[in-house]
Amino acid sequence: MSESWKKTACILCECNCGLEVQLGGEGGGHFTRIRGDKAHPASEGYACEKPHRLDFYQNGPDRITAPLRRKEDGSFEEIDWDTAIAEVTQRLAAIRDEHGGDTIFYFGGGGQGNHFPAAYSAASRRVLGSRYRSSALAQEKTGEFWVGGRLMGEVTRADFEHCEVGIFIGKNPWQSHGIPRARVTLKAMAKDPQRTMIVIDPRETETAKMADIHLQVKPGADAWLLAALGGALVQEDLVDHAWVQEHVDGADDPIAALREIPVGEYSEISGVSEELVRETARRIGKAESVAIFEDLGIQMNRFSTLNSYLNKLLWVLTGNFAKEGAQYIPSYLVSVAGNLKKFGAGGEAKRSPVANKRIIGGLTPCNSIPSEILTDHPKRYRAMIVESSNPAHSMPDSQAMREALSALDTLVVIDIAMTETARLADYILPTPTQFEKAEATFFNFEFPENYFHVRQPLFDPPEGVLPEAEIHARICEVLGAYSDEDLAPLHAALEQGRPAFIPAFFQNVLSNPKLAPLASVILYRTLGPHLPPGMQTAAVVWGLCHQLANKYPESMARAGFDGPSFVAAEKLFDAIIENPSGVVFSIDEPDVSWSRMSTPNGKIQASIPELLQELSTLKDASPGTGSASFPFVLSAGERRSFTANTIFRSPEWRKKDAQGSLRINPDDASELGVHDGDQVRLSTKRGSVEVPVELSVMMQRGHVSLPNGLGLDVSGPEGSQVRTGVALNELTSVDDGDEFVGTPWHKHVPARIEAIA
């Protein structure tokens, strides 16, 4: 490797592929060359086309380089950091003291590339008494989390590298990835005649085109299709009875329900032939191993939580768990799903204070956030800290969200740039970008080898920004959460070296109920300065390594981190800090997942009465397509080649199709009298926009699709704002969502299209 290549990772999707980059340009502040890092444990040199445009993030528009405070007239003024931290802390503490810290709501904590903010904010939230939080996960994954929690107290991932049958439900990994080296893995599956790829998607996606079986479901009809698949499995006796007998409790209930499913009728409702449904069920039933990935196509759609359950029954009833090529429970440093163990033990979800909605994995449902704020209820959320997220743009129903954010007593936004959410803030606290500080994600789900990657900083941050760790430590310090005396023994121990620090930290911090919850910022303050230059924000990883060594000693030993747990932990932490490509921290045995479940008797609990009840309602329901006023179903948020949530604010990052066209079936277009590239008016019950169309045979009739990540408001000339493309959530409504966990139906928005003369 030439001297000038530096190692980092891509921050654009959860895969976080390892990258090698060269820096240059004006002041050396730009990415000039980017390629995959062959030494990265998961991506092994792979990278898609998107990271080549990362400079549009690093040098994006509307960067903020000083704390900002809103003035009476609505504009912002720059203030110094001492003032900013003092005022923010004082305002939040006043709300805590008058109304209770539980009225301070926290949103975000990281995106696709940065999860340290979540780790550090845990401390300041604790000091502020903040108890409720949420993030984008609560508009996608909480249904799946709840179902996983009920079945086994955990969430699963699946092994697509080794599966015989791979199934993608409402997931287009060719574009969205989500599995390591997605395109390589997909091609390998497609090429191997012994293996079968099955895609369930209304669109003929890039992935569906490669599949052996494409179940081209009608939009929103997956519940019928999955019920029919499960029905065929049970009725044709493809269930692995011996396995189920040994490993599953309560299987009789879903089996009885599936036995009653009219497979022919439900197939027809779903738009897929009965013959193909039965062929698919047989393929699943007879395979050595089946891996399934469900994603937004069903998780942001009608019956989403039921769909998650029906999906999981497919592998539960066929024994596709805890073996190669099937579902598994990964080792993890931090569970992004939160703690689901209580559900495995039959526990109930906590509820949100105003709307009384289920809180899954600690996350208030996104659809109920406005109603948790826009009320005179004494326990309404009165203040909000938004960190590394853009809810005014990305949450359902931007109009409702803006109204709610504006109604707060105090809104504090911690971001790198002036976002749609930041524009509504009382205070904006600016941070370095993810390439100007050490960062990492907790999206570490690989199996049997799992890895962790702390990225070393590449650029110097501008003066005037502070990393999240520093912001949260200062908030704790202003509130007197710990004193110099509290930290003195830690500093003293560090003078002698890390071996002395271990017992000092355990005795003085972890055994002290006042300090234990502040462990992350205390590590940052004490251990941080002893780490190599630029790595201070990685201090929290030290604590995680020690937790890990207690949780998975055998898996860690197999990865070379052996010995007594504190020794193994120290070795791992050193390896992580020293290795810029990431480190394999655990190597698992195929059946390890059994030991990671948390149900009282160690068996999967397959009966979920609420969802079986929901299943029984399908016979009287319909997929909900096509009313007279809204004849189309809009999928609001398709992952395309150049979309990446709202990480890129510069419209220039999309060289082609800058506006993000509405994809529509050519026959629908011709009925409307519109041609490729024409502008149309697209309306939903919530709003109306103009957008160019792209005629696409990918789309089935009646279904239209818009890309995600567009419609950002970026500063233009003379204080103006320029919006490029459609801001999707001007079109969505908080009223449309899952009844169990409050996830929105972004992929199923009734819509109308009119040609513009």
Ligand X SMILES: Nc1nc2c(c(=O)[nH]1)N[C@H]1C(S)=C(S)[C@@H](COP(=O)(O)OP(=O)(O)OC[C@H]3O[C@@H](n4cnc5c(=O)[nH]c(N)nc54)[C@H](O)[C@@H]3O)O[C@H]1N2
Give the footprint of ligand SF4 on this chain (CB under 6 A). Answer: 10, 12-13, 15-17, 47-48, 50-51, 177
Which listed option, ligand SF4, ligand X, none, makes contact with residue 607 (CB within 5 to 8 Å by class)? none
Cβ proximity to ligand SF4: between 16 and 743 the closer is 16
Q: Does 645 bind ligand X (CB under 6 A)?
A: yes
φ, ψ (nearest 5 deg) of residue 216: -85, 75
Least Cβ distance, residue 10 to ligand SF4 (angstroms): 3
| Tokens describing residue 724 | 């490029």
Q: Looking at beta carbons only, is 161 or 468 nearer to ligand X?
A: 468
User: Is 84 a residue that touches ligand X (CB under 6 A)?
Assistant: no
Contact segment (CB under 6 A) with ligand X among 372-380, 575-583, 639-647, 675-683 equals 639-647
Picked from ligand SF4, ligand X, none, the partner binding residue 47 (CB below 5 to 8 A depending on kind) is: ligand SF4
Which tokens belong to 44? 């092994």
Shortest spacing between CB 183 and ligand SF4, in angstroms: 8
Q: Measure the CA–CA gap between 309 and 307, rounded to whole angstroms.
A: 5
CA 35 to chain centre: 25
Whichever of 12 and 712 has its CB closer to ligand SF4, that residue is 12
176 binds, among ligand SF4, ligand X, none (CB under 5 to 8 A by kind): ligand X
Please tell me the distance from the alpha carbon of residue 248 to that of residue 604, in angstroms, as a whole number.
5
Q: Give, as ranges, the residues between 457 and 476 that touch ligand X (CB under 6 A).
A: 468
User: What is each CA distance from 301 to 201, 205, 258, 493, 674, in whole angstroms?
Assistant: 12, 18, 22, 54, 28
The per-residue DSSP string of 445-502 comes to --SSEEEE-PBPP-SPPPTT---HHHHHHHHHHHTTSS-HHHHHHHHHHHHH-HHHHH
Shortest reach from residue 640's CB to ligand X, in Å? 6
**H or E segment at 241?**
helix 241-247
Calculate the alpha carbon distances from 685 to 405, 706, 750 in Å.
22, 17, 8
Question: Could you tell me how many helices (H) and strands (E) the chain has, helices first?
Answer: 28, 30
Q: Which of 320, 635, 684, 696 binds ligand X (CB under 6 A)?
A: 635
- Binders of ligand X among residues 405 to 424 (CB under 6 A) are 414-417, 419
Choices 198-206, 568-576, 590-598, 673-681 (CB under 6 A): range interacting with ligand X: 198-206
Among 43, 114, 304, 733, binds ligand X (CB under 6 A): 114
* DSSP for residue 507: I
In the complex, the smallest distance separating the C-beta of residue 16 from ligand SF4, rounded to whole angstroms, is 5
Cβ-based nearer residue to ligand X, 213 or 755: 213
Q: 327 exposed, middle or buried (CB, 10 Å; 0-12, 13-18, 19+)? A: buried
DSSP track, 318-386: TT-BSSTTSEE----SS-TT---HHHHTTPPPEE-TTT--EEBTTB--GGGHHHHHSS--TTS--EEEE
Instruction: Name the residue nearer to ligand SF4 (CB basis): 13 or 680.
Output: 13
Nearer to ligand SF4, 449 or 667 (CB): 449
Q: State which of residues 382, 639, 654, 686 lies at the interface with ligand X (CB under 6 A).
A: 639
Q: What are phi and psi of 68, to 5 degrees?
A: -120, 140
Cα–Cα nearest to 461, from 432, 490, 484: 432
Residue 251, classified by CB atoms within 10 Å of its CB into exposed (0-12), middle (13-18) or buried (19+), is buried
Kindly state whether residue 643 participates in binding ligand X, applying the rule CB under 6 A. Answer: yes
- Choice between 375 and 650, CB closer to ligand SF4: 650
Q: Using the rule CB under 6 A, which residue among 428, 476, 544, 644 binds ligand X?
A: 644
Site for ligand X in 355-414 (CB under 6 A): 387-391, 394, 414
Q: Which is nearer to ligand X, 301 or 536 (CB)?
A: 301
CB of 248 to ligand SF4, least distance (A): 35
Candidate residues 295, 397, 446, 668; the one interacting with ligand X per rule CB under 6 A: 295
245 vs 670: CA distance, rounded Å = 55
* Least distance in angstroms from the C-beta of 753 to ligand X: 17
Identify the residue among 202, 230, 254, 687 touching ligand X (CB under 6 A): 202
Burial of 229 (0-12, 13-18, 19+ CB in 10 A): buried
Q: How far is the CB of 744 from ligand X (least distance, A)?
A: 7
Q: Based on CB atoms, which residue is closest to ligand X, 588 or 738?
A: 738
List residues binding ligand X (CB under 6 A): 13, 111, 114, 117, 136, 139-140, 169-172, 175-178, 200-203, 205, 217, 219-220, 222, 295-298, 301, 387-391, 394, 414-417, 419, 431, 433-434, 468, 635-639, 643-647, 708-709, 728-729, 732, 746-747
